[in-house]
Amino acid sequence: MISDIEALSEKIKNHFSDRIDSVCVKDCVIIELSPQQLLSVSQDLKTIFSFDMLMDVCGMDYVDYGISHWRTEDTTTSGFSRGVNDDGSRVIAWHKPRFGSIYHLLSTQHNQRLRLKVYLAEEPVVPSVVDIWASANWFEREAYDLFGIVYEGHPDLRRLLTDYGFKGHPFRKDFPLIGEVEMRYDAEKKRCVYEPVSIQPRTLVPKVIREDNRYK
């Protein structure tokens, strides 16, 4: 017997045909599509498939996806160990663009969830879906602030979480962990001032648990 989520996946495949790149079923139905098709597909998902609520829009940076110097699976009791070849080759092959804009939808009528994935190049630009789901307003501003994804057509695309005059996008993988500037209150100037960060860079090394009599 076909499940509801599998039936939804088949309906989406038949309806959208060549407007989407792929459809798969995991925790929910996942659609991958190009930025050019986002608005038309989103409109049909809302009006025809009754996905009336946009629950979240988030950014992704896949620049180091599949590359890790540490094996992190199954480490609750065993700790971390090195899990990459000496040549630093990727564990997972990645041939898609660096950035992604991810949309999580909910149909309150059918109690179904769906995820849209749009992959974007080094200078990420994607149409805004504010006119389809008004809740996208702040979600898109957050993704713009943290990842630098530009949502064309957004009515008020400006930073949401970082401070005035902040430079860079802190959720990008190449943004320094210690930041670039720090703020303090200057008693003489009677205002907050920004200065180059004074924290020394350091390498974060995961905890390693070994079977050794020194640790028994």
* Predicted local distance difference test score (pLDDT) of residue 215: 52
Give the mean model confidence (pLDDT) for residues 44-57. 97
The end-to-end CA distance of the chain, in Å, is 53
| Domains of the chain, each with CATH number or no CATH | 4-62+97-158 (3.30.460.80)
**Please, are residues 170 and 147 in contact by the beta-carbon 8 Å criterion?**
no
Residue 42 has pLDDT above 50, yes or no: yes
**Please, are residues 28 and 49 in contact by the beta-carbon 8 Å criterion?**
no
Q: How many other CB atoms are found less than 10 A from the CB of residue 182?
A: 13
| Overall pTM surpassing 0.85 (yes/no) | no
- Non-local (6+) Cβ contacts of 44 within 8 A are 15, 16
Give the mean model confidence (pLDDT) for residues 80-96. 59
Distance CA 170, CA 130 (A): 24
Distance CA 146, CA 2 (A): 40
* Predicted local distance difference test score (pLDDT) of residue 83: 47
| CA dist 184 → 9, 45, 150, 165, 194 (Å) | 53, 48, 31, 15, 7
**Please, are residues 102 and 149 in contact by the beta-carbon 8 Å criterion?**
no
Residue 77 has pLDDT above 60, yes or no: no
Residue 31 has pLDDT above 70, yes or no: yes
